[in-house]
A and B are shown apart, each in its own frame.
Chain A
Amino acid sequence: MAGGTYAALSGLQTRMEQLDRLAADIANAKTAGYKSERVTTNAAERPSFGKALQAAIDVTPGPGHLDFRPGSMEKTGRDLDFAIEGKGFFVVDTPQGARYTRNGNFQLAADGTVTTADGHPVQTANGPLKVARGASGPVSVSDDGTVSVGTQTVGKFRVVDFGDYSELQREELGRFRAPASAQPTDADVSVRSGVLEASNVSVVDRMVALTEVARGFEALQRGLNILSTELDGRAITELGRR
Chain B
Amino acid sequence: MIRAMYTAASGMNAQQANIDNIAHNLANVNTSGFKKSRVEFEDLVYQQVNAPGAATNATAEAPVGIELGLGAKPVAIARDFASGNLRATNSPYDVAIEGRGFLQVTLPDGQTAYTRSGNLHMNQEGSLVTSEGYMLEPSITIPSNAVSVTISKDGIVSATLAGESAPQQVGTIQIAAFQNPAGLHAMGANLFTVTTASGDAITGLPGTDGLGTLQQGFLEESNVSIVEEMVNMILGQRAYEANSKVIRTADEMLSQVNNLAR
Contacts and interface: CB of A to CB of B under 8 A. Distances in A.
Interface of A: 12, 15-17, 19-32, 34, 61, 63-65, 76-78, 80, 105, 107-112, 117-118, 131, 133-134, 136-137, 150, 166-167, 169-174, 179, 203, 206-207, 210, 213-214, 217-218, 221, 224-225, 229
Contacts, number: 201
Interface in B210-256: 210-211, 235-236, 238-239, 242-243, 245-246, 249-250, 252-253, 256
Given A19-B253, A26-B246, A31 B180 contact: no
B179 to A, nearest CB: 5
B20 interface: no
A76 B229 CA distance: 11
A174 B45 CA distance: 10
Interface of B: 1, 3-5, 7-8, 10-11, 14-15, 18, 38, 40-46, 49, 52, 62-72, 75-76, 78, 80, 82, 99-100, 177, 179-180, 182-183, 196-199, 202, 209-211, 235-236, 238-239, 242-243, 245-246, 249-250, 252-253, 256-257, 259-260, 262
A89 B197 CA distance: 26
A26 B243 contact: yes
A215 to B, nearest CB: 10
B8 A150 contact: no
Contacts of A224: 260
Which 3 residue pairs of A and B lie closest in terms of their CB atoms, listed nearest first?
A: A136-B210, A27-B11, A24-B69
Nearest to A173: B42
Contacts of A77: 80, 82
Given A24-B7, A136-B209, A117 B246 contact: no
Contacts of B82: 77-78
B252 A34 contact: no
B253 A133 contact: no
Given A108-B179, A214-B253, A27 B45 contact: no
